[in-house]
Amino acid sequence: MNGKFWGKVATSTVILGLFIFAFNTIYTTPDMTTILLPPVQGSPLAKELLETVILVRSEVAIQEKGHLARATFAIENSSDHDIKNIEIICTVMDNTGVEQGRDKWVIYDTIKAHANGFFSYTSKKYVSNRATATQCQIIDIEKAQAPLIAFHRRGATAGHAGQQETPDAMPHGGAHH
């Protein structure tokens, strides 16, 4: 009994353990969809902002030919924070309510505090031909931070709000014309 023998025994034990785990998981799960599609859980920040950032409307339409998915989302941000990178998961179901898959959409735009946003996307995705309904929810959000570097537009001077600088009013060397 050399090292190769014990190596084969250890490898066989690991493979047998994985097989038993997989068999037990499949045996105790009601259907394969539950194994492949675990429950959706939102991020802590999404849960915190869930009452003030609302997915007001969502619609996902699938064209069978070409597998084009067109999604539209309306989001209401009544929080005190600008938000961005909003992740939305849409669960696709058949006519009996059985989950057939999920699609993830990310809205990279910033929605200002106390504002609404409407977004529309088209992408090529494979969706089961048994899909008849979708259910969408926000699972992640980021608070938009102020930029590290701010660029100021040339035109308004400090202390003279609302006045525009013109070439004649700008200081330059020499006499005024």
* Per-residue pLDDT, 111: 92
- Residue 33 token pair: 């969809």
Q: Does domain 41-143 have CATH number 2.60.40?
A: yes
- Residue 36 token pair: 């492949």
Please state whether 97 falls in left (phi above 0), alpha (psi between -120 and 50) or beta: left
Q: Rounded to two decimals, what is the model's pTM?
A: 0.58
> pLDDT tens digits, the chain, 177 residues: what are they?
788 888 888 899 999 998 888 777 666 655 555 555 556 666 777 778 878 899 999 988 776 666 677 889 999 999 998 999 999 988 888 888 877 778 888 999 999 999 999 999 887 766 666 667 888 888 888 888 876 676 666 655 444 443 333 334 433 343 443
Q: What angle do CA 124, 125, 130 make, to 5 degrees?
A: 130
Single-letter code of the amino acid located at 50: L
* Distance between CA atoms of residues 135 and 34, nearest Å: 16
Q: What angle do CA 71, 75, 79 make, to 5 degrees?
A: 155
Single-letter code of the amino acid located at 127: V
Single-letter code of the amino acid located at 81: H
- Beta-bridged to residue 99, according to DSSP, are 93
Domain range annotation of the chain: 41-143
